Amino acid sequence: MDRPPLIAMAEGFDIDHLAKLARLNLTAEEKALYSSQLNQILGHFQTLAKADLPETIDLARVVSESALRSDEPGPVLGAEAVTRIAPASRDGQISVPRVVDDEA
């Protein structure tokens, strides 16, 4: 009753918008399949909408020992190790398609 977003979900699932946010290209078949499956899964999630839940979120770790460490430099992977696993590199640096247009 006071939770319209869950109801709104069932009425329309903007798969194109989601795919864009997630940086995924989907074929027409994939869009149809995922829309149907996600709607089914989200339908199951309706139990969450109906549940009587606490207002506050208490997710402090179950074991409360502090794990903060001192902020000191430690070993890191060198440029050689990093560029060896990169898809493309040049002169010890990772290369990517041109980001800024010449005309800009």
Residues in binding contact with other proteins, number by CB under 8 A: 55
Which residues have a Cβ under 8 Å from the Cβ of 80 and sit 6 or more positions away?
A: 92
Question: How far apart are the C-alpha atoms of 27 and 71, rounded to whole Å?
Answer: 47
Are 14 and 54 spatial neighbours (Cβ–Cβ below 8 Å)?
no
Under rule CB under 8 A, residue 63 binds other proteins: yes
Question: How far apart are the C-alpha atoms of 72 and 23, rounded to whole Å?
Answer: 36
Under rule CB under 8 A, residue 5 binds other proteins: yes
Please report the beta strands in 1-104, taking only residues with DSSP state E, as ranges in sequence order: 89-90, 93-94
| Spacing of C-alpha 51 from chain mean position | 26
Binding mask 12-41 for other proteins (x = CB under 8 A): -x-x--xx-xxxxxx---x---x--xx-xx
Under rule CB under 8 A, residue 96 binds other proteins: yes
Under rule CB under 8 A, residue 1 binds other proteins: no
Chain residues that interact with other proteins, rule: CB under 8 A: 3, 5-6, 9, 13, 15, 18-19, 21-26, 30, 34, 37-38, 40-42, 44-45, 47-49, 51, 53-59, 61-63, 65-69, 77, 81-82, 84-88, 94, 96-99
